[in-house]
Structure 1
């Protein structure tokens, strides 16, 4: 009996992959908008989704690492691809 091999290739139908360079506008939850404002960014995708199914069902999130090594959250709908990461 052989063990089935999992396909290690990235999904090509996903709008963004970890490692992609993207730009857009940061997401600030409504309850924090008194202290923070959405702002433009460019960075690298480090996480797809929030990790919480009920949150992801309502909003499609990305986490982006900026050049200063801080991270910001953005909505997929407010983000665009700059360059696709290359497969090794």
Structure 2
């Protein structure tokens, strides 16, 4: 008998769903006065897209909650799904 996942990932065209475990590199908007730098992360997707109409036209964002309960913004293209 094989064990089945009680919460299988739904079939969808979306590359990530809320609750997916992912890793990637954080997004830091270009700004000459910023002191932040892109950094690697691993966490759980809490939001896909910016939430604002038209903002994701050129770059699609997602928000990820880290183990320390802080959140980071990342570009979809700089993020990968973990098994």
Q: TM-score, normalised by structure 2?
A: 0.82
CA shift in 2, pair 1:79/1:54, >3 Å: same
Write the distance in 1 (CA, Å) between the matches of 2:53 and 2:36: 25
1:1-38 C-alpha deviation (Å, 9 max, x unpaired): xxxxxxxx945211000000000000000016731000
Alignment: residue pair count: 75
| Aligned equivalent of 2:67 | 67
> Which has more radius of gyration?
1
Gaps of 5+ in 2: 1-8
Q: CA RMSD in A?
A: 1.8
| Aligned equivalent of 2:47 | 47
| Aligned equivalent of 1:4 | none
Q: Which has the higher helix share?
A: 1
Write the distance in 2 (CA, Å) between the matches of 1:41 and 1:34: 19
SS in 2 for 1:56: helix
1:21-76 C-alpha deviation (Å, 9 max, x unpaired): 00000000001673100000000000000111221112100000000000000000
Q: Where do 4+ consecutive residues of structure 1 move more than 3 Å? A: none
Write the distance in 2 (CA, Å) between the matches of 1:17 and 1:52: 18
